[in-house]
Structure 1
Amino acid sequence: MSTKAIRRGRATSAVLLLVVALLTGCGLPAAGQPAAGPAPADPVQAAQPAAGQLPAGHSVSAGVAPTPSPAPAISYPATGGNRWSLAAADTTPGRGSGGRLLRYRVAEERDIRGLPVAEVAEMISATLDDPRGWTAGGAWRLRRVGADSPADFTIYLATPGTRDKLCQDRPDGYTSCRNGNRVVVNVARWVKGVPGYGASLDAYRQYMINHEVGHRLGFGHERCPAPGRPAPTMQQQTLGLHGCTANAWPYPNGIRYAGPVGEYHDRLPPREGARPAH
């Protein structure tokens, strides 16, 4: 066979090999390199499970952030059993360096669910220790004590019906009150506030605390001084703002803020029943 024929045969064989490789999907080795085996699988793709399956060694929650526990439901009956849980003493130093020291307890009716007495007491103490609160005038120091210490007054978080028993005034089941050394906070207002207050629920709670403790300190009711002005703390803001804006603090700027002496006699909403769990 001639040299030209041999070269033509080799060229034809190379073309046939290339065609076969293209048709079968097999790769050809690069010049001077050995033929390679099957390409390794992509490790990222190989880790992906088939639809409806999980990778080996993984649980259902793998890679999923834990779901936070829901807040405990708040519930209370229309009238509780008049049994109480007392908060521990507040060991942090209170505000005020002079004036008369008044000790108070915080009690929560045991039928109330979802409002730990320690948390309620913490907010009450934070409100009474605030620099905008009653201690700013220098006449009082306020300190929370526990069950084993004498107290000058007790702040009760009570169900609406028990509120009526403790207050011994008109049995409205709606407002809070002060009766002697009892400062009674209605849990219905603590949980729901009042319509149209124009401030946060925390701000309304601060108002309730300061208003009723203000009565214990000897202050009576006041009225809105002028439309658009902040409401005095001793205004009956639960019954309406009467043109004023919501305000929880007796010393909002370090100076006693007050309005004209007097009361509002607004009509109360219908009596409320028990608060359902939510």
Structure 2
Amino acid sequence: MDARQGVVKERTRMRRWTVVRIAGLAVVAVVGAGVLYQLPASPFERGGRPERPVAHQSQPVLPKAAQASNGDQSSTTPERPVPAITYPQRGTVHFTVLPGDPDHRVIGRAGRLFKFQIAVEGGIKGIDQAELSAFVRATYGAPQGWTAGGKFRFEQVGPGEPSDFQLMFVTPETRDTYCGYAPDRYTSCRIGDRVVLNIARWVHGVPNYGAALEAYRQYMVNHETGHRLGYAHQLCPGAGQPAPVMQQQTLGLHGCTAYAWPYRGGSLYRGQLGKYDDSIPGT
């Protein structure tokens, strides 16, 4: 082989080596790129458990609080607590008269009509005005309430309207201001056309009453309103019998059982007039 043939052969070998090298690099690049693109994250990361696939969200994800109220029947979110009634020992001695019955309903079928207002002393907080008004109207209109005998009717009126009496919810010291002598900050009373209810008794009731607080509140309304209707205090008719509504049940049942209503069995339920009929204005 001469020198010319040797050069040609060497050039041919170099070209083949270059082509093979370039092809090898291309394969490595493609394979490497494929590995980098296709390699998924390990399904056993984050605590050794596979992650759940994320579903497509057609709507925005709600906050947890919103999710709990969005048809989730298993939610344990507590209901909004009813605010407790609070009061100082002495309020402002200024009163808010509640709105009258929006339907202007007369409670009772016959008898003298008594228009009344409900007034709450400043400083007393947490009273639901609508619920309080509804409670009083329901008490007057109950089948065993003051309207049962056909002698009396009632209508709740609002601020500025003429009324026959005012049902006043007062603080303990204001009770003493309105109820006159024998201050005790404890009982309730009726003075003229003011039916004065001590908010402390409304909130706490009395010890050993033997009935629910709701029953005691019905008694408070019926007893003091009874004075406005002309009824005096009465005594327990006998051990184990229901107490007449005009008995001073706040001061003790004296052998009777708690009873909040003026009527029983369709008739006005009475006890004997006592020696302390009106010597103590409070009940």
TM class by shorter chain equals 0.7 to 0.9
Instruction: Give unmatched runs, 5+ long, in structure 1.
Output: 1-39, 50-55, 269-278
Deviation at 1:65, TM superposition (A): 3.9
How far residue 47 of structure 1 moved from its aligned partner, in angstroms, is 4.9
Give the conservation status (yes or no) of the 8 Å contact 1:132–1:251. Answer: yes
Deviates more, 1:72-81 or 1:89-98: 89-98
2:116·2:163 contact (CA, 8 Å) conserved in 1?
yes
| Unmatched tracts of structure 2, length 5 or more | 1-42, 44-49, 55-59, 69-74
- Secondary structure in 2 matching 1:205: helix
Q: Distance in 2 between matches of 1:47 and 1:238?
A: 66
Alpha-carbon spacing, 1:238–1:59, altered in 2? closer, same or farther (3 Å): same
Letter in 1 for 2:223: H
Match runs of 1:29-178 below 5 Å:
47=52, 57=61, 59-61=63-65, 62-63=67-68, 64-90=75-101, 91=103, 93-178=105-190
Q: TM-score, normalised by structure 1?
A: 0.72
Which deviations, in whole Å up to 9, do the C-alpha atoms of 1:208-247 show, x marking residues without a partner? 0000000001100011101110000000000111111100
Question: Please, what TM-score do these two structures have when normalized by structure 2?
Answer: 0.71
> Larger deviation: 142-151 or 197-206?
142-151
Q: Secondary structure at the match of 2:267?
A: coil
Over alpha carbons, which structure has the higher Rg? Answer: 2
Provide Cα deviations, 1:128-149, integer angstroms capped at 9, x if missing partner: 1112111112111111111131
User: How do 1:219-238 and structure 2 match up within 5 A?
Assistant: 219-238=231-250
Greater helix fraction, Structure 1 or Structure 2: 2
Q: What does the per-residue CA deviation read over 1:137-185, in whole Å, with 9 as the maximum and x for residues that have no partner?
A: 2111111111131001000000001111111131111000000000000
Q: Deviations over 1:40-59 (max 9, x none)?
A: 9xxxx96599xxxxxx9564
- Over the aligned positions, Cα root-mean-square deviation in angstroms equals 2.6
1:205 is matched with which residue?
A: 217
Considering Cα pairs closer than 8 Å and 6+ residues apart, tell me whether 1 or 2 has the greater RCO.
1
Q: Aligned residue pairs: how many?
A: 218
**What is the aligned partner in structure 2 of residue 272 from structure 1?**
none
Letter in 2 for 1:152: D
2:8 matched residue in structure 1: none
More off after superposition, 63-72 vs 239-248: 63-72
| Farther-moved stretch of structure 1 (136-145 vs 58-67) | 58-67
| Paired AA for residue 213 in structure 1 | T
1:37 maps to which residue?
none
